[in-house]
C-alpha cells in the first residue's frame, strides 16, 4: 500500500483548548481501525527537523490500521500562543487534550508516541495519570527518549553560549552556569530563536527518567545508533534494565541511521520506520510491511507536523 494513497491523506484541523487552539493532523486508519496513537513532538528546532519522519511514520501506521493524531503543542508550530509563554503544565494538558479527542473519535483507548523531549513529556503524562488514578496510555512508542531534562536544558543553553562566543562575547559570562543564574533570577533567555521562560526551564530541570517509575503499559523504546550492530548507549541500557527489573513490559531496540532530529539537512531513518511499523503489525499478517516512501514525497508529507 502506498504511503501517499488518497485513503491515507491527513486531515488538518484546529482543536479548541483552554488557551486558544491547537493545530492537529489526523491520519485515519486505512481499513479496520486497530488502535490509535497521539504523537508528541520534540522541542524547539528538533520539531522542525523531524517533521518528515513524523509524517512518514504516521502514514505508515495509518496504512496498518493505526490512526494517528499529530498535535502542535502550545506556543509551537501553528498552534496558539508564543513559545515564551509555553509551560510544561500546558504541554501536559495538550497531551491530555489530544488523547481525549482521539479516544472519543475512535471509541477506544489510545496510546502515545513521543520523540526526544516529546517522549519524556509523554512519560511524565503517563506518570501523572497513574498518580491520579486516571486512564493510562494503551501503549507507548518512544523514539530516542531524553533521559534527563536537566542535561537536555544544559545542551540547549550551550547553543546560546556558542552563539555569544561567535558574536565576540565573553564565553565565561555566557556559560551555562551563568545562563542558569539568569533563569533562576526570573529572566527569560533567547536561545537559537526561542525565548525560554524560567518556569519552563525549572520544569525541565526537575525531570529525570532514572527517578521515574515506568508506567504499567507496554513500552516500545527505539534508539537510533550510528552503525548497524551497535547496541543501545550505556545510559539507555542502564535505564532500560532498571525499568525491566521493576517489572516494566518494555521492548528496547537499537536501529542504525542518522540522528535526523539534529542533522543540518532534513534526513530520514528508514530502519526506524521499519522497526516501528513492525511493532504494530498484525500477528501472522503482512500489515507491518506497508510501503514506506522515503523519497521526496508530497509537500504535505514534507511539511506535516
Domains along the sequence of the chain with CATH:
6-148+214-303 (3.40.50.1820), 153-206 (no CATH)
Element (H, E) at 178: helix 176-184
Distance, in Å, from the CA atom of 183 to the CA atom of 148, rounded to the nearest integer, reads: 18
**What percent of the chain is predicted at pLDDT more than 90?**
84
Give the model confidence (pLDDT) of 198-210 as tens digits: 999 999 999 999 9
Question: What is the pLDDT confidence band of residue 285, given thresholds at 50, 70 and 90?
Answer: very low
- Give mean pLDDT, residues 148-154: 97
Distance, in Å, from the CA atom of 46 to the CA atom of 50, rounded to the nearest integer, reads: 6
What angle (nearest 5°) sits at the alpha carbon of residue 159, between those of residues 154 and 162? 115
- Give mean pLDDT, residues 255-265: 97
Question: What is the pLDDT confidence band of residue 5, given thresholds at 50, 70 and 90?
Answer: very low
- Give mean pLDDT, residues 259-263: 97
Name the nearest CA neighbour of 297 among 263, 264, 255, 266.
Answer: 266
- Give mean pLDDT, residues 112-118: 98
For cell 504523537, the residue is 39
Question: What is the pLDDT confidence band of residue 301, given thresholds at 50, 70 and 90?
Answer: very low
- Is pLDDT at 7 greater than 60 in this prediction? no
Whether residue 83 contacts residue 195, with contact meaning beta carbons closer than 8 Å, is answered with yes
pLDDT of residue 284: 45
Give the model confidence (pLDDT) of 165-177 as tens digits: 766 555 556 689 9
pLDDT of residue 300: 34
Name the nearest CA neighbour of 37 among 66, 13, 10.
Answer: 66
Which CA distances in Å does 170 have to 159, 175, 285? 14, 9, 60
For cell 501523572, the residue is 128
Amino acid at each position: 500500500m502506498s504511503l501517499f494513497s488518497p485513503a491515507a491523506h491527513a486531515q488538518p484541523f484546529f482543536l479548541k483548548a483552554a488557551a486558544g487552539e491547537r493545530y492537529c493532523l489526523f491520519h485515519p486508519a486505512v481499513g479496520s481501525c486497530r488502535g490509535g496513537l497521539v504523537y508528541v513532538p520534540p522541542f524547539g528546532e528538533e520539531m522542525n527537523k523531524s517533521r518528515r519522519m513524523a509524517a512518514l511514520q504516521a502514514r505508515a501506521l495509518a496504512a496498518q490500521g493505526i490512526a494517528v493524531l499529530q498535535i502542535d503543542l502550545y506556543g509551537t508550530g501553528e498552534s496558539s500562543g508564543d513559545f515564551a509563554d509555553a509551560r510544561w503544565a500546558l504541554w501536559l494538558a495538550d497531551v491530555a487534550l489530544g488523547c481525549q479527542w482521539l479516544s472519543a473519535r475512535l471509541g477506544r483507548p489510545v496510546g502515545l508516541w513521543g520523540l526526544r523531549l516529546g517522549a519524556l513529556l509523554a512519560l511524565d503524562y503517563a506518570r501523572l495519570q497513574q498518580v491520579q488514578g486516571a486512564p493510562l496510555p494503551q501503549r507507548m512508542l518512544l523514539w530516542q527518549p531524553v533521559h534527563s531534562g536537566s542535561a537536555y536544558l544544559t545542551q540547549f543553553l550551550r547553543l546560546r553560549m556558542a552563539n555569544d562566543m561567535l558574536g565576540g562575547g565573553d564565553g565565561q559570562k555566557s556559560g551555562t552556569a551563568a545562563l542558569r543564574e539568569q533563569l533562576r533570577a526570573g529572566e527569560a533567555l533567547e536561545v537559537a530563536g526561542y525565548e525560554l521562560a524560567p518556569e519552563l526551564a525549572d520544569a525541565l530541570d526537575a525531570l529525570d527518567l532514572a527517578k521515574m517509575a515506568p508506567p504499567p503499559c507496554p513500552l516500545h523504546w527505539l534508539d537510533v545508533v550510528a552503525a548497524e550492530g551497535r547496541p543501545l548507549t550505556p545510559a539507555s541500557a542502564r535505564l532500560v534494565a532498571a525499568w525491566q527489573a521493576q517489572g516494566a513490559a518494555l521492548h528496547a531496540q537499537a536501529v542504525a541511521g542518522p540522528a535526523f532530529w539534529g542533522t543540518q539537512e532534513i534526513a530520514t531513518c528508514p530502519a526506524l520506520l521499519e522497526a516501528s511499523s513492525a511493532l504494530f503489525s498484525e500477528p501472522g499478517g503482512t500489515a507491518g510491511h506497508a510501503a514506506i516512501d522515503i523519497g521526496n514525497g508530497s509537500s504535505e508529507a514534507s511539511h506535516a507536523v
